[in-house]
Structure 1
């Protein structure tokens, strides 16, 4: 990203429809412009919409813990605070406020003492660094809104680029930061703090937070259910586990990992990422569902460690600069100092949600059956897989010994050939029948096809780069199918042949609360950031908010208020085009509607008995992300005969965006978001 002018940013982005990288000029006017102090943004791609900043700022428990710890550290004599990764500048403003309060409390009361050498005369300052330009400008605006511009020096740099005497002076004696992810170390906590203590902080400098401890709990998988086992020891790095509650053997185990922050040295101010049922004395008023920090689950690959009641296993944890890895060993292995088995195989690097999808028997069978049927109906077919689906690729090769399969694998790139070779060999197939190009399908030419035309064009569709985006971003398949039209035979089979946009109205109080608009955060005005961060609730303006990608089953409380409904269809047998849809949905259950979840059902064959759904499955894991349209003002719905929701949508073929409108006939005043 580069700056092109005072209010413009030249930003590189991935066009979700074409898969191509492109440079766009983004106007982010983050200065005060009117009496409403609204932070204006003409940036329509939602640079910050998919981040968890809103969720963090709505986390009252987190905010109060940080404020309390910062006040305590400042009261112990801090004179120069360094905030690394300032974000909106909240922690910096907390520090500046605490310093002012501390100064005022010890300021000399008479003029004759003004020239004394008391601690009140020592300069107090806050330096904050933020390297991400949109967030830097957001922080700059909030500092101005809160009259903190002269109290906090904001630096547009990474902390490891800063130097004492240039970016801050003198060295800081208090560090505040929140560079933590769900695994604790993934945002570079260790190297960042090491550099700060070596180069930016004074000897003996304090830190908020002061300490982090990882806790683990063993669980077993039995009949699809997860049962948590009793812990004998909860030490952070070498946990001994025993299981007094079971009388027989169980197979399959996992480790649930959380962490606790001690924000002060004494450990009296803490914050935990554990679920509420695991917290000894939870703050029930504020300890609610949150998205920014989750519990982490680790699956063990060893099959020889059967869990037996009354016996002990040792969980060992090792960490490097950015991650923690866990292993399970029997007590006898540890006591005999038996070395670990270091043998590894070439494995596909997949995220947990992808593993969950491929681990679903119904999903695999539906996809492989559709591919196999289409391939067997062709003589010596040339099959083209345009996405990152190894499952489609191997299924096409296995269904017909005369088939030749070309896989684009744009997201796997150089690793693609190794993955396919390993999968082919494992399934007794000739690897030479598979060709991996590792590029985008739109770059394909007849030369690369040896002047043959494609008999079967297929995808799951699954583009690795879109795992965390709304499900219709996979409609890139329709764009690529259209771009490749001249390379297809006249009767080419298309898998999937259609897509159906489906939806359901939901009660989603936890998710809505986490994304609602900001006003006052621990005494600091934050309403200026609502548009830029994509706030969805209680907005002071009528402008439509974003549709965000979430797995509904992971969003806390949820309840379906309507039956699932069809909103529009996409026909992949014809070229890409605009699509519109509108539907009246009867209210099934009375309740408060916070939003509508949307997803795509992929029709894999014309018979329509072969459908892959990416929709929610109640409280059970679906592993797909849905697109969730949260309402500005929740609607109270009544399950009456003449009561319904009207939901409408428009698909834009130039951008791949879908705009959705929701209104209720039973509301006192229509709340149209379209």
Structure 2
């Protein structure tokens, strides 16, 4: 986001139906807090963070303990101004104090304009607007003598992500110590420490090792042929992920170990390395390093906060710091390549850890030298990077069989069919050419573009494909025409659907496939086949206490009123929210803490891809099948691959490779099935759901009501 003038800003807006982004001009005086549908703040982690009572209390106690006299306090990345208000209160600032007063001052630095506007409202409600100097700049843009009168004595900040370093902690601290802070400043937090544990997990293995997982497939498709094992892979990085839901499928192969320590009170280095010797606690195969961090918020080391998984928090060790489930900070997973490393109990494993200024990486070495065969790749080093979920999906035998059967059925008996892959599916592009040696295949690859073509060229020989069969339509500004299909109309249009770079969005944003099919309508033959041929919007009522708690309405946080922030942040709860609750947001439901389905899974509406896109609606009534507290509804799309409806791919809660859409209720409801004796009188017995899809915007509006 960049400024246009004192009153107008540019904002990047994505069209979910085209995947294209455009800059729109927004009036700086627009009140986003009155429209929860605006994505500025609703899709951020601010609400979840402010609902983290353990975090809030730890910062409050540390700030009170640190500010024992008046100081100049600098708050970097101030958000709603919570830490700034804590500091002002701890020093007893009042309205009569002027910037530079010997009695102390607080400077709040926040560069994100929508949040800065919200902060000013929060400060006003709490009578703090004249006690805190608010600056709309990045901290590395601040200048002593221009923006602030003097260097600050104390730094309070919370610029941490799940990995610790990903939000620029190190560069921010470096600039602050160089340009904005006195020598030996006080800081809250005081330091951070990262920890890890070696684990074995089949699920984590499948998220990164397509080569060995694909070897079990019987369809003859080789997305990662022998000799090109890393041509399709995940990025070598730590991946934020809630580890607790994996506990039953995880084997712990070591005790927790400390990796790095970062002191906030002194200038950090951009690069650091450490070698650890870890003793294996059990036999197994190391598939991943699960890591977390612990904050020491005060100098004495009495106030801590941890992102450790529950199995650590439940143990009585030096690594244990209790806390509630939250979504803004997760554990991180670093994948060990290939099948992982086989180890024996008592064996010493050498772990080499490296941190840059924004990330941490690992290299695991056992006493036995590791084979480098799986590290082979093309001479020019080319590889295609996909998300772990996509890698796992491409290795999933059931999903591959569904796709194989659907494509094989429609290609049987067709001579030289003209086929178009509308999305970024390298699997379907390979599959069609493999099944039909006479097919003419054009892949639109809207996200992959030339990278997709280069990948197909690399694996063509291993899959028995003539590269002359396959073309990639590379002109993103024009529409595919019959000129591009050898003057023939299209016989088969396919998609997974999958759009590279747009993973993790709401399920119905993949209806972009329907838009693509509509744009191509004129070049489809009269009897053209479309796969998937239909999408079904599905839903289920669910018990989601942890997720609801993390996004519920704010009241007073450590004594500071935040109710004015509820609408802007898309909160649910008792603050006169929109009549049908907050916005739908994408989540991996399996990672959302405690979960339980309270109703059968039911269909609400269908999207017919055999016809051009149109606005549509649907309605359904469902009876609750279990008693409990309903916190919201989970939505997803089941993709029907054949006309008969026999082949279906579901992106529902059972499938860990897709995010679902979650619509939380304004207030949780007691629900339960009809029962003759013990059913509570105030339980709702059923719910009615109505959905409206707008084909012009791609928006899906969902409304609900409960029936006793």
TM normalised by structure 1 equals 0.88
What secondary structure does 1:443 align onto? coil
Match of 2:50 in 1: 57
> Per-residue deviation at 1:331?
3.8
> Per-residue deviation at 1:424?
2.8
**Per the alignment, do residues 383 and 263 of structure 1 end up closer, same or farther by CA in structure 2, a change over 3 Å counting?**
same
Match of 1:129 in 2: 109
The one of 164, 185, 198 equivalent to 2:165 is 185
**Per the alignment, do residues 542 and 41 of structure 1 end up closer, same or farther by CA in structure 2, a change over 3 Å counting?**
closer
* Deviation readout 1:528-560 (Å, 9 max, x if unpaired): 111111112223244442011111111011111
Match of 2:71 in 1: 79
Match of 1:602 in 2: 639
CA contact (8 A) 1:11 1:24 kept: yes
What secondary structure does 1:127 align onto? strand
**Per the alignment, do residues 320 and 542 of structure 1 end up closer, same or farther by CA in structure 2, a change over 3 Å counting?**
closer
What secondary structure does 1:464 align onto? coil
**Per the alignment, do residues 430 and 84 of structure 1 end up closer, same or farther by CA in structure 2, a change over 3 Å counting?**
farther
- Aligned counterparts, 1:375-394, within 5 A: 375-394=411-430
Q: What CA distance in whole angstroms lies between the structure 2 residues aligned with 1:304 and 1:458?
A: 35
The one of 623, 626, 649 equivalent to 2:691 is 649
**Per the alignment, do residues 445 and 148 of structure 1 end up closer, same or farther by CA in structure 2, a change over 3 Å counting?**
farther
1:467 matches 2:509? no
Match of 2:17 in 1: 17
1:276 matches 2:287? no
**Per the alignment, do residues 125 and 579 of structure 1 end up closer, same or farther by CA in structure 2, a change over 3 Å counting?**
same
**Per the alignment, do residues 366 and 315 of structure 1 end up closer, same or farther by CA in structure 2, a change over 3 Å counting?**
same
> Per-residue deviation at 1:368?
2.9
> Per-residue deviation at 1:611?
0.7
**Per the alignment, do residues 414 and 537 of structure 1 end up closer, same or farther by CA in structure 2, a change over 3 Å counting?**
farther
> Per-residue deviation at 1:2?
5.0
**Per the alignment, do residues 527 and 424 of structure 1 end up closer, same or farther by CA in structure 2, a change over 3 Å counting?**
farther
The one of 466, 482, 502 equivalent to 2:518 is 482
Q: What CA distance in whole angstroms lies between the structure 2 residues aligned with 1:556 and 1:547?
A: 18
Match of 2:583 in 1: 546
Q: What CA distance in whole angstroms lies between the structure 1 residues aligned with 2:657 and 2:170?
A: 31
Q: What CA distance in whole angstroms lies between the structure 2 residues aligned with 1:507 and 1:483?
A: 40
CA contact (8 A) 1:46 1:534 kept: no
What secondary structure does 1:205 align onto? strand
- Aligned counterparts, 1:159-238, within 5 A: 159-221=139-201, 225-231=249-255, 233-236=257-260, 237-238=274-275
> Per-residue deviation at 1:404?
2.4
CA contact (8 A) 1:547 1:630 kept: yes
CA contact (8 A) 2:36 2:569 kept: no
1:431 matches 2:460? no
The one of 89, 93, 99 equivalent to 2:85 is 93
Say which is worse superposed, 369-378 or 94-103, in terms of deviation: 94-103
What secondary structure does 1:539 align onto? coil
1:632 matches 2:666? yes
The one of 422, 426, 433 equivalent to 1:397 is 433
* Deviation readout 1:171-190 (Å, 9 max, x if unpaired): 11212221111111111111
CA contact (8 A) 1:276 1:288 kept: no
Say which is worse superposed, 7-16 or 340-349, in terms of deviation: 340-349
CA contact (8 A) 2:196 2:257 kept: no
CA contact (8 A) 2:159 2:169 kept: yes
The one of 355, 374, 399 equivalent to 2:410 is 374
Task: Give the number of equivalent residue pairs.
Answer: 635
1:586 matches 2:598? no
Match of 2:678 in 1: none
What secondary structure does 1:100 align onto? coil
TM normalised by structure 2 equals 0.84
Q: What CA distance in whole angstroms lies between the structure 2 residues aligned with 1:440 and 1:252?
A: 43
Gapped runs of 5+ residues in structure 1?
32-38, 108-119, 667-674
Match of 2:239 in 1: none
Q: What CA distance in whole angstroms lies between the structure 2 residues aligned with 1:359 and 1:24?
A: 40
> Per-residue deviation at 1:512?
0.6
Q: What CA distance in whole angstroms lies between the structure 2 residues aligned with 1:498 and 1:326?
A: 44
Q: What CA distance in whole angstroms lies between the structure 2 residues aligned with 1:258 and 1:542?
A: 37
Match of 1:574 in 2: 611
> Per-residue deviation at 1:88?
1.4
Q: What CA distance in whole angstroms lies between the structure 1 residues aligned with 2:594 and 2:7?
A: 41
Say which is worse superposed, 404-413 or 594-603, in terms of deviation: 404-413
1:253 matches 2:287? yes
**Per the alignment, do residues 441 and 665 of structure 1 end up closer, same or farther by CA in structure 2, a change over 3 Å counting?**
farther
CA contact (8 A) 2:306 2:323 kept: no
**Per the alignment, do residues 486 and 103 of structure 1 end up closer, same or farther by CA in structure 2, a change over 3 Å counting?**
closer
**Per the alignment, do residues 389 and 531 of structure 1 end up closer, same or farther by CA in structure 2, a change over 3 Å counting?**
same
* Deviation readout 1:623-645 (Å, 9 max, x if unpaired): 21111111001111121069321
CA contact (8 A) 1:470 1:625 kept: yes
Q: What CA distance in whole angstroms lies between the structure 2 residues aligned with 1:370 and 1:341?
A: 32
CA contact (8 A) 1:59 1:286 kept: no
CA contact (8 A) 2:280 2:349 kept: no
Q: What CA distance in whole angstroms lies between the structure 2 residues aligned with 1:43 and 1:448?
A: 44
- Aligned counterparts, 1:275-294, within 5 A: 275-279=309-313, 280=315, 287-294=323-330
> Per-residue deviation at 1:78?
6.0
What secondary structure does 1:306 align onto? strand
Q: What CA distance in whole angstroms lies between the structure 1 residues aligned with 2:70 and 2:461?
A: 63
> Per-residue deviation at 1:102?
12
What secondary structure does 1:592 align onto? strand
1:262 matches 2:335? no
What secondary structure does 1:532 align onto? helix
What secondary structure does 2:67 align onto? helix
Q: What CA distance in whole angstroms lies between the structure 2 residues aligned with 1:83 and 1:340?
A: 50
> Per-residue deviation at 1:267?
2.5
Q: What CA distance in whole angstroms lies between the structure 2 residues aligned with 1:322 and 1:659?
A: 38
Q: What CA distance in whole angstroms lies between the structure 2 residues aligned with 1:608 and 1:565?
A: 16
What secondary structure does 1:134 align onto? helix
Q: What CA distance in whole angstroms lies between the structure 2 residues aligned with 1:61 and 1:194?
A: 28
Say which is worse superposed, 295-304 or 455-464, in terms of deviation: 295-304
Say which is worse superposed, 190-199 or 447-456, in terms of deviation: 447-456
**Per the alignment, do residues 631 and 89 of structure 1 end up closer, same or farther by CA in structure 2, a change over 3 Å counting?**
same
Q: What CA distance in whole angstroms lies between the structure 1 residues aligned with 2:149 and 2:101?
A: 17
The one of 438, 442, 456 equivalent to 1:420 is 456
> Per-residue deviation at 1:159?
1.4
CA contact (8 A) 1:55 1:515 kept: yes
**Per the alignment, do residues 385 and 430 of structure 1 end up closer, same or farther by CA in structure 2, a change over 3 Å counting?**
same
What secondary structure does 2:696 align onto? coil
Q: What CA distance in whole angstroms lies between the structure 2 residues aligned with 1:30 and 1:65?
A: 35
CA contact (8 A) 1:594 1:630 kept: yes
Q: What CA distance in whole angstroms lies between the structure 2 residues aligned with 1:232 and 1:288?
A: 20
